[in-house]
Amino acid sequence: MKVAIIGAGHWHVSLYYLPALKKLNADIVAISDSSPQVLDKVSKEVDCPQYSDYRKLLDNEEIELVFAHAPHNEMTAVAAELVARHQPFHMEKPMGVDWRELEPVAAKARTENVFTAVALVNRYSGVAEQLTELRHKGQLGQACHYYFRLLAGPPQRYIDWGVEWMLDPATAGAGPLFNFGPHVIDLFHYLTDQPVVEVYCNWYDALYSREIEDFASITMLGDDGAIGVCEVGYVLPTGYERYFSLTTDALHYGGPMDAGTVLMRDGRQMPFSGLSGDEVYFAYTGDVLDCFAAGRVPRATIHDMVATLRVMNAARQSAQSGQPVQLDKRDEE
């Protein structure tokens, strides 16, 4: 499969996608980035034509699937360009900073049947796959409480990785709310199957005193009454912490994302094991390639990101105003 990489300087490319694409034997036919230093670095990993302008790459190269990345405030424009060209693509989250700008791009992708995939990779975690299997069997039940804590180390890593724009709310949208927020909010939608009708958010910047927040706490109310609480932050000394729980009228799980035991209300215990952390990116990359080759809809698309970005925008509005934000359910349809 002929693959091109747009925005090769995005940290997910070097950490996850490039190693995964190489291991999966994808034919990387071209790369683009506005930074000559990035192109020089990536050229040591893959020998292919390089472009400073991704539009020229699209004009000149024969491509089947694009892996697209950009600063958050540029993502929607890149997605719109790809959809206008009927170019199948994957894109990193959050695909933009305003759901109102992304929604018409998603609508055009649907109308014109353009393949889109978005890296909402926690759908591939062990617990998400186990709970999804239970839902397919009619055993998941009605969700009443959801909690997901995703914490990481200091934001200095984005400077070290050459993506300082992640620390500027004008380009990033916000801090961990717009970086980790897509993962924790999307899984609420995915597992509860409830649109969010109210959002309340607090955020804090006392730890590093940067323009972006260090920590955000988001509370969501689902249309059928489920409460979702998400905590995201750059507050650990190093590394990552992922803690997840879901309670329904049929079961409860609380623990790590990769392995544990789901406790059913009838007394059964259902152990599971699977992927977590960095492993989900390899699984996601392989699934995107497989779905495109087979003509299947991937596990998460641009439409899922519109719904999640809408909640992220409401959370930012709530944090800035100090008030909860009501969402009209009709806008989710």
Q: What is the pLDDT of residues 204-229, one digit of tens each?
A: 998 998 999 999 999 999 999 999 99
pLDDT greater at residue 43 or residue 17: 17
Of the candidate ranges 23-32, 37-46, 290-299, the one whose mean pLDDT is the lowest:
37-46
According to DSSP, the residues that pair with 151 across neighbouring strands are 233, 241
Give the single-character DSSP code of 125: B
Q: Is 257 helix (H, G, I), strand (E, B) or coil?
A: coil
Please tell me the number of Cα atoms within 13 Å of 138 on its side-chain side: 0
* Cβ(23)–Cβ(279) below 8 Å: no
Domain covering 123-275+300-332 in this structure, CATH number = 3.30.360.10
Q: What φ, ψ does residue 111 adopt, rounded to 5°?
A: -60, -40
Q: What φ, ψ does residue 137 adopt, rounded to 5°?
A: -85, 0
Average pLDDT of the chain is 96
* pLDDT value of residue 228: 98
Element (H, E) at 110: helix 99-111
* pLDDT value of residue 26: 97
Region 274-280: mean pLDDT is: 88
DSSP letters, 262-318, are: EEETTS-EEEEE-B-TTHHHHHHHHHHHHHHHHTPPPSS-HHHHHHHHHHHHHHHHH
* pLDDT value of residue 276: 77
CB neighbours (10 Å) of residue 326? Answer: 11
Model confidence band, residue 146 (pLDDT cutoffs 50, 70, 90): very high
* pLDDT value of residue 115: 98
- The single residue listed with the structure tokens 């719109």 is 80
The C-alpha torsion from 142 through 250 and 270 to 189, rounded to 10°, is 10
Superfamily of domain covering 2-118: NAD(P)-binding Rossmann-like Domain (3.40.50.720)
Nearest-angstrom CA–CA distance, 125 and 176: 20
Query: What is the residue extent of each domain of the chain?
Result: 2-118, 123-275+300-332
Nearest-angstrom CA–CA distance, 153 and 216: 14
> Is the per-residue pLDDT at 142 higher than 90?
yes
Percent of the chain with pLDDT over 90: 95
Longest dimension (CA), the chain: 61
pLDDT digits over 55-93, tens only? Answer: 999 999 999 999 999 999 999 999 999 999 999 999 999
Region 310-329: mean pLDDT is: 96
Model confidence band, residue 277 (pLDDT cutoffs 50, 70, 90): confident
pLDDT digits over 234-273, tens only? Answer: 999 999 999 999 999 999 999 999 999 999 999 999 999 9
Give the single-character DSSP code of 256: -
* pLDDT value of residue 333: 36
Region 305-317: mean pLDDT is: 98
* pLDDT value of residue 43: 87
Nearest-angstrom CA–CA distance, 64 and 100: 28
CB neighbours (10 Å) of residue 223? Answer: 15
Amino acid (1-letter code) at residue 148: F
Element (H, E) at 29: strand 27-32
Q: Is 162 exposed, middle or buried (0-12, 13-18, 19+ CB in 10 A)?
A: middle
Model confidence band, residue 329 (pLDDT cutoffs 50, 70, 90): confident
Q: Is the peptide bond before 324 cis (omega within 30 degrees of 0)?
A: no
> Is the per-residue pLDDT at 176 higher than 70?
yes
Nearest-angstrom CA–CA distance, 134 and 312: 28
* Cβ(196)–Cβ(221) below 8 Å: yes
pTM for the structure as a whole: 0.95
Q: Is 34 exposed, middle or buried (0-12, 13-18, 19+ CB in 10 A)?
A: middle
Q: What φ, ψ does residue 82 adopt, rounded to 5°?
A: -65, -40
Model confidence band, residue 332 (pLDDT cutoffs 50, 70, 90): very low
